[in-house]
Homo-oligomer: A and B are copies of this chain.
Amino acid sequence: MNNYHHGNLKEELIECACKLCERSGYTKLSIRSLAKESGVSQTAPYRHFKTKECVYAAVATVGFKKLSEACNIDVEKKATKKQLVKAGYRYIEFGLQNANTYDLMFGTAVGNFADYPDLLESANKTYDSFRSSFSKLTNDSEDIIAFKCLTLWSMVHGLVGIIRKVHVVGDDLKNPSDGPISSARMVADNLEQHLDMVINGLISN
């Protein structure tokens, strides 16, 4: 009960890392700053995370859980097309509003998910519920479902990346001067059309 041992360091480090990553991006996160924030010595985090990449993996794991919640795909009920469009919309919203965390989840900072069982499981759950919902909209075979699911996922994933990167104004690509969110708003009005169009193509084919 002495304060030599923190008692809850790992959880606090993860929480702190999530906050720091989302606020400033994962490149700005250092083990040392993490330790300082938790009022602990520079190398204490190494008792809980072998490398910095392990910290990234922990943040990404939390990220996938949040993404699942955000999309809020209810596997029990029969999914409708409208629900699916909404899930796609929420996916994009999540990607834009948690851009730095999203980088960690889909970028290269965490090399191989297989090295991080929790992360792998968290990512799989997200995808499974996505695919499971999709399968209820069609009588296609599993192969075709996987195929179409990949198409749709690529669509929303790609939109997150592109929207964040550019304004599409006339003939030019321009960087958003006012942040990704308002850049997204430009597209948001048409976003459901995008999704609807693609989903229609998929489920009617």
Contacts and interface: CB of A to CB of B under 8 A. Distances in A.
Interface stretch (A11-19, A33-41, A150-158): A150-158
A159 to B, nearest CB: 4
Interface string A103-143: 10011110011100000100110011001000000000010
Interface residues of A, number: 52
Interface stretch (A67-75, A78-86, A169-177): A169-177
B131 A174 contact: no
Contacts of A171: 124, 128, 131
A161 B168 contact: no
Contacts of A165: 106
Contacts of A174: 114
B157 A162 contact: yes
> How many copies of the shown chain assemble into the complex?
2
Contact of A158 (B25, B157, B193, B201): B157
A200 interface: yes
A201 B197 CA distance: 7
Contacts of A114: 174-175, 177
A205 interface: yes
B197 A168 contact: no
A60 B17 CA distance: 29
A154 B155 CA distance: 6
A194 interface: yes
Contacts of A123: 173
Contacts of A175: 112-114, 120
Contacts of A200: 201
A190 interface: yes
A202 interface: yes
